[in-house]
Structure 1
């Protein structure tokens, strides 16, 4: 695939994978992106997953057409991108590897060598001339590993963005970018909003016309849209007005309360109501929606004096990703000692800028006139 006159795509599609990083459902597979820049000297950007090493090398050799690469630029050491470093270095013994100091430490850990005789260590503002093209390296620590660098080609105005601006799905998947990019960002990078904000400030100083991420499509048009999404996500701002109701239910009584609340919110004109069953729906999508919408209702049963396991897992996912700047409503159920509301609020007590509704809905086994009235009051608060 030709990206510019001198930059080619040499990555691969993975349609065999079912869970990315062992937890994210990827029905449309994954793309492991790699690029080659052809100049007086040739630079290769990152490798691919171990299972596709031979396919990737074949793509590279077909592209360079008998020439030999001079550099392998390693922007990120996660194995879906770095697994074939050793294979590349063995096949092209004259090539040098370019990476951050922390990346070379990880190479020693992964491969038993840090390529001391063939390495080029780069940091913030380091440059590398290939001839007509000059590359500038920008450090991106904890986006989302500590060794990450991104690379800017000032000639073609291309940002090689590592995992930034990536998404789930193979390149031939016909799907909306925003949904899968949001799920990817929140799930994998979401904890590191401050670090992404710092990188966006650096990127704002560059004239970027093309973004080449390590997953997902090459971005060539309407870049302001993608940058704006990343700014929203990394600042933990509300992306869409609406309410997510996340629930667990054992015998259906908590579910009935949730359905009543959703119906009441819709009748009151709430712009968007999303209901997710945490025991059955994709957890990553539930987490994505919690960060997307401005209001969240947590509904669960008291379970062993705590909360139902799927709800506990859900809240853990939120807090470990720095969930903040939202309004929270709570529905609890308990037949003899309701404790779920207290337990959920306790789990969220260190989260920043959360506003809990004045109304807490308490079911004692099943819906009653009292709990129906509480649901109506909660809906009023959420629709303000």
Structure 2
């Protein structure tokens, strides 16, 4: 039997860790694993908040039984229907056939579509409440964070927010569950990577959700991934981080993302980086798109306001890794970046034209003329590259 972690009186953590999966959504690397968090509220009526990936349903059931024994579960609250959180619903219904599933109208459509479930369901609207006994469940609809059915559940008596994927992070929970039991420092960078990869497109819906939460007293944040946030400073930090990221605000720093086949374009990137550093920018991050994973590049672009992209012309288009990156940035509606660009070619210069079109489409602030290199690094090209780094640094310094 498991010794179940208690978060507050009557509130138990019954989630699981996944340290075997290599790619989240078969896209995003998980070097430190990931947790699938689920919570039990043991009151006059018992409520389970979200489930876990079906691969872990057996471990999950043992954890629930350790907390409840033979006591039935009255309600399952589905804050999010993505399979890493809803995957054990069908199994759960088989174990607890009288359980009532709570969600909104979009949840109900997905319950039917994914699992064929149409009975024992309770459809709620924004700010509806369900009384458990001493505690109340209050529901806040937060659509498009990052699916249309997403919502959050708040227990006002205990000031606990079950936030779904919001405020979540990559990384398994190693030993502890709540932030006070863990060294939580490493989770914040992974939270930015998680946000930029998964939620980044939906800045406006995140702002709407934060508006709903602004009048709520929150002492505990229970996300579906990562630590349970209980320390006041950490709760303020994660909410402020979501506020900042969803406004596309960023710190003073520069990301240089480039593709290079034979090293010439890379040397341009080195010159630009050296110039930016010499002119006062300490946070300079360089990514060769053939080596760095896109999830790390996106994280850093969300962190820093300066962005310079370089690409050789490849089949009269952009280098494939750069093409993929700018597609990802378009998809996430990234805004308010200081932008520069550079490119190389041997006989047909197409990369600069494509990068210019991208920058104009995104309404970036283009800091100066691009750097164009034919064949190799000549003295005028080196001078132009140094100039680009210097002007970018000067513009970034002004944001202070």
Specify every segment of 5 or more residues in structure 2 that has no aligned partner in the other structure, as ranges: 176-182, 395-400
Distance in 1 between residues matched to 2:198 and 2:370, nearest whole Å: 32
1:191 matched residue in structure 2: 201
Asked if 1:24 corresponds to 2:14, the answer is no
Counterpart check, 1:359 vs 2:363: no
- What is the CA–CA distance in structure 2 between the aligned matches of 1:3 and 1:113, rounded to whole Å? 31
Which residue of the partner structure matches residue 280 of structure 1? 291
* Separation of aligned partners in 2, 1:166 and 1:27: 16
Q: What SS class does the counterpart of residue 205 from structure 1 fall into?
A: coil
Match among 171, 174, 178 for residue 173 of structure 2: 171
Residue 100 of structure 1: aligned partner? 104
**Structure 1 residue corresponding to 2:248, chosen from 226, 233, 236:** 236
2:85 to 81, 87, 100: 81
Aligned structure 1 segments of 4 or more residues deviating by more than 6 angstroms = none
Q: Distance in 2 between matches of 1:351 and 1:359?
A: 17
Where 2:85 maps in the other structure, the secondary structure is helix
Q: How do residues 249-264 of structure 1 correspond to structure 2 at under 5 angstroms?
A: 249-264=260-275
CA deviations 1:44-101 (Å, max 9, x no partner) are 0011001001111111111012211110111100000001111111111221111111
Match of 1:62 among 66, 69, 72: 66
Matched, 1:376 2:386: yes
Please give the per-residue CA displacement for 1:282-309, whole angstroms capped at 9, x wherever unaligned: 1110011111101101011011111100
Alignment of 1:76-155 (within 5 A): 76-115=80-119, 118-155=120-157
| Equivalent of 2:12 in 3, 8, 11 | 8
Q: Deviations for 1:106-135, whole angstroms, at most 9, x for unmatched residues? A: 1111112222xx111111011000000011
Deviations along 1:344-363, whole A, 9 cap, x unmatched?
121343324x1012221111
Q: Give the one of 29, 37, 42 matched to 2:41.
A: 37
- Offset from partner CA, 1:124-166 (integer Å, 9 cap, x none): 0110000000111000110100011100000110000000000
State whether residues 242 and 294 of structure 1, in contact with CA within 8 Å, keep that contact through their aligned partners in structure 2: yes
Contact 1:359–1:377 under 8 Å retained in 2: no
- Which residue of 326, 334, 338 corresponds with 1:315? 326
Task: State whether residues 10 and 36 of structure 1, in contact with CA within 8 Å, keep that contact through their aligned partners in structure 2.
Answer: yes
Contact (CA 8 Å) 2:275, 2:387: kept in 1 or not? no
Distance (whole Å) between structure 2 residues aligned to residue 274 and residue 29 of structure 1: 24
Residue ranges of structure 1 left out of the alignment (5+ in a row): none
Root-mean-square deviation (Å): 1.1
Q: Secondary structure at the match of 1:244?
A: strand
SS at match of 1:349: helix
Question: Is the contact between residue 274 and residue 389 of structure 2 (CA under 8 Å) also seen in structure 1?
Answer: no
Match of 1:215 among 222, 225, 231: 225
Deviations, residues 220-257 of structure 1 (Å, cap 9, x unaligned) = 1111111111100011111x211110010011000111
> Could you tell me how far 1:373 is from its partner in structure 2?
1.2
Offset of residue 379 of structure 1: 1.8
TM-score, normalised to structure 1, is 0.97
Match of 2:350 among 314, 339, 359: 339
2:179 is matched with which residue?
none
SS at match of 1:3: strand
291-300 or 167-176, which moves further after superposition? 167-176
Q: CA deviation at 1:6?
A: 1.2
Answer whether contact 2:19 2:172 (CA < 8 A) is retained. Answer: yes
The total of aligned residue pairs comes to: 380
Offset at residue 210 of structure 1 (A) = 0.4
